[in-house]
Amino acid sequence: GAGVSQSPRYKVAKRGQDVALRCDPISGHVSLFWYQQALGQGPEFLTYFQNEAQLDKSGLPSDRFFAERPEGSVSTLKIQRTQQEDSAVYLCASSFGLAVADTQYFGPGTRLTVL
Amino acid sequence: LAKTTQPISMDSYEGQEVNITCSHNNIATNDYITWYQQFPSQGPRFIIQGYKTKVTNEVASLFIPADRKSSTLSLPRVSLSDTAVYYCLVGGFSSNTGKLIFGQGTTLQVKP
């Protein structure tokens, strides 16, 4: 595809429900990132994949958050037993290579609202 | 990791040049300086990146003094569509993962 796509664009969940957010990176991009953006704040790093390997998950706020990229392309961010504080926009980004200065291309994000 | 300081907000008028300055006193020798732009309901978009002196592309210019403790993003002749949040990132690259560390950014409002 032309860019990073994410689905769904909007998700409303009742507190306690599990949600799954999908990211389709740019084809051929090795690196994939997830970020969380609260209202009025800059994005905050959650986790990083290099192909299918999750190399950094230091930003995941709790063990309710889980991410995977089993075949090195599409990634899913799963949040179990959602809480109101999980309400945010979840952004996915991908970059072509492994260099730390590689440009990251962001998707439009998934806005999660937990009631 | 180097912390950045930039104005919370700025106003400008169409056709003017806008300069947004970012302070990063603790920048490390191998750190790059990168600027991203974000429109409402969209993900951030890369604008420009530099290490020292001046970098120019079709969208903006980035000025970095010799001591690299600050940088200035210059947007020539802004239009209403340049209204967005602009993030300055420095030292946001961990040695292993390349994760970006965003601050609050500068909200630029362009008026007609």
Please tell me the distance from the alpha carbon of residue B4 to that of residue A114, in angstroms, as a whole number: 32
Mutate to test the interface with B, among A44, A104, A111 (most CBs of B within 10 A): A104
**Contact residues, chain A, for B98 at CB < 8 Å:** 31, 33, 48, 95, 98-102, 104
Distance CA A98, CA A111 (A): 28
Q: Which of chain A's residues have a Cβ under 8 Å away from the Cβ of B89?
A: none
Find, among A85, A94, A80, the residue nearest to A35 by Cα: A94
Strands A88-95 and B70-75: unpaired
Q: Which residues of B touch A35 (CB under 8 A)?
A: 100
Q: Give B54's strand partners.
A: B63
The mean per-residue pLDDT over the stretch B23-41 comes to 90
DSSP state of B59: S
Q: Hey, is the C-beta of A77 within 8 angstroms of any chain B C-beta?
A: no
B46 contacts A33? CB cut-off 8 A: no
- If we measure between CA atoms, which residue out of A37, A79, A81, A35 comes closest to residue A56? A35
Report residue A103's pLDDT band, with 50, 70 and 90 as the boundaries.
Answer: confident
- The residue among A14 and B30 whose pLDDT is bigger is A14
Q: What is the mean pLDDT of residues A3-8?
A: 97
Decide which of B30 and B94 is more confident. B30
pLDDT value at position B63?
A: 97
Burial of B66 (C-beta count, 10 Å sphere; 0-12/13-18/19+): exposed
pLDDT band at B29 (very low <50, low <70, confident <90, very high): confident
Q: pLDDT digit string (tens) for A38-88?
A: 998 999 999 999 999 999 999 999 999 999 999 999 999 999 999 999 999
> Could A48 and B43 be called an inter-chain contact, meaning their C-beta atoms sit closer than 8 Å?
no
Rounded average pLDDT over B26-32: 84
Q: What pLDDT, in 10s, does the model give residues B72-105? A: 999 999 999 999 999 998 764 555 566 777 888 9
Mean pLDDT of chain B: 90
Point out the least confidently predicted range of A55-69, A91-105, B14-28, B91-105.
B91-105
Q: For residue A65, count other CB atoms closer than 10 A to its CB.
A: 19
Distance (Å, whole) CA A81 – CA A107: 25
How does residue B30 score in pLDDT terms, banded at 50, 70 and 90?
confident
Length of chain B: 112
The structure tokens listed for A97 are: 């290579």
> Does B93 sit within 8 Å of A100, measured CB to CB?
yes
Q: Please give the pLDDT value at position B2.
A: 60
Q: What is the pLDDT of residue B93?
A: 54
Q: What is the DSSP string of chain A?
A: --S-EEE-SEEEE-TT--EEEEEEPPTT--EEEEEEE-TTS--EEEEEEETTEEEE-TT--STTEEEE-TTSS-EEEEESS--GGG-EEEEEEEESSS-TTPPPEE---EEEEE-
Tokens 């290099």, located at residue: A50
Residues in chain B with CB shorter than 8 Å from the CB of A91 are 43-44
SS3 B81: helix
pLDDT top residue among A97 and A26 = A26
